[in-house]
Amino acid sequence: MINVDVSQRRKFFAHGNVYLPHVVTIEKIVEETYDTKTFYFNFKDKRLREEFTFEPGQFALFSIFGMGEAPFAISSSPTRRDHLECSVRQIGRLTNAMHRLGVGAEMGFRGPYGNGFKLDLFEGKNVIFVAGGIGLSALRSLIWDVIDNREKYGRMDIIYGARSPADLCFKYDLDTWETNEAINMITTVDRGDENWTGRVGFVPQVLEQVAPEPNDAVAVVCGPPIMIRFTFPVLEKLGFSPEQMVTTLEKRMKCGIGKCGRCNIGNLYVCRDGPVFTYAQIKNFISGEY
């Protein structure tokens, strides 16, 4: 049977209808890269502003009324709740429309959906974050949650890479994490430019070089599908078991609640049973279905 407890999320439904979005207003826009923006937004409804909560790793469906909806991870930290954030790469019809919005514009928001990261899986363990490109936005809420509760966790490694220096997202965060002594921050790019003095190399290769220890560790991976597919074998080689590898997946979504049928991997729906999965859960379907 299905193990989804939605009872406590019903209080975030608009008028008792799971498909009806709330209206949110954009408060600030940060240009991360030439094609990625982070939107800071808040509910128009005061009660929601105060009561809304979510777990790191959950996502929401954002609407541009008249255009459609798309899923984005809620990339702000659940512990810092004066606003919410999502990061959007400009890549299609809806995201192009989102990028044309300015501060003060309104969007639709419904969520939070998905299973989020189970923090008790990570407590007491060394956590290794492996992210690529905008994949970092899906892990960001977890990273900040771990930093804000640092004493509950062991070592913290972040390996982050992008195609080029111009594609690095959340540069302000990367700088902060670089200077944080409790974090081992490694940034890499696939190709450098004239000004780049840091590491050059694909994320899976850099991971292999850094070679984190698998004992008492959990690896959290997010990035383009091809990066994820190459990262899992590296982690296996380093001695991580499939239960020690966690990822958050992205699929085309419409309903976000496990009904419209399209985001499935086998009998698991990325929106309902995920988007956070362990490698153990999906490895039988990995070839081709993901």
Partner 1 sequence: MAGNKKINKRDIGKLLNEWNQGFTVFVPSREDKVTAFAKWDGVNISFMEWHRNTVIPPKTNFFPLMEEMFSFREEEDGYHTELPSSDKHKQLIFGIRPCDAKALSILDMAFKEGYEDPYYLSGRKDSLLVALGCTNPYDSCFCASLGGGPFDSTYVDIMLIDIGDELLIEEVTNAGRELIARTAGLEKVTEVDEARAKEVKKSSYNKVTRKINTEGIQKKLQACFEDKDFWEKVSAKCLSCGICTFLCPTCYCFDINDDSFKKQGARFRSWDSCAFPIYTRMPMENPRSEKWRRVRQRVCHKYEFFPTDFDVIACVGCGRCIRQCPVNWDITEILNNLPAKA
Partner 2 sequence: MEQKLRQEAKALLEQDKVDYIIGYEKGSLKFTTTPLITKDKNDVDRLVVNPLIVNNLSVFLTEIRGRIGIVAKGCDSRSIISLIQDNKVSREDVVIIGVPCSGIIDLCKVERLVGEERDELDDVTREGDKVAIVVDGRRREFPIEEVLFDNCLGCKFPTPQEYDVLLGEATSPVSEMTASRARIAELEGMSSQERWNFWKGEFNRCIRCYACRNVCPACFCERCFVEETEPQWVSPIPKWQDNLMFQVTRNIHVAGRCTDCGECERACPMNIPLRSMARKMYETVEELFHYEAGLDKAAPSLLTAYESVEAEDLIR
| Interaction site with partner 2 (CB under 8 A) | 92-93, 96
For partner 1, the closer CB: 12 or 144: 12
What is the arrangement of strands in the sheet containing 276-278, beginning at the earlier edge strand?
199-200, 184-189, 156-162, 126-132, 217-222, 245-248, 276-278
**Nearest alpha carbon to residue 141 among 61, 79, 76:** 76
Tell me the two tokens of residue 82.
């004066």
Longest Cα–Cα distance in the chain: 55
Judge residue 100's burial from the number of C-beta atoms within 10 Å of its C-beta, 0-12 exposed, 13-18 middle, 19 or more buried.
exposed
Q: Binding partner of residue 184 among partner 2, partner 1, none, CB under 5 to 8 Å per kind?
A: none
When the beta carbons of 90 and 205 are compared against partner 2, the nearer one is 90
Least Å from the CB of residue 281 to partner 1: 13
**Facing residues of 128 across strands?**
157, 219
What is the closest distance, in whole angstroms, from the C-beta atom of residue 67 to partner 1 in the complex? 6
Rounded to the nearest whole angstrom, what is the least distance from the CB of residue 175 to partner 1 in the complex? 28
- Single out the residue of 67, 103, 182, 211 in contact with partner 1 (rule: CB under 8 A): 67
224 binds partner 1 (CB under 8 A): yes
CB-side neighbour CA atoms (13 Å) of 134: 20
By a kind-dependent CB cut-off of 5 to 8 A, residue 224 interacts, out of partner 2, partner 1, none, with: partner 1
In the complex with partner 2, the residue whose CB is nearer, 68 or 224, is: 68
Q: State the binding string over 237-256 for partner 1 (x if CB under 8 A, else -).
A: -------------xxx-xx-
Half-sphere exposure of 135 (CA within 13 A, CB side): 27
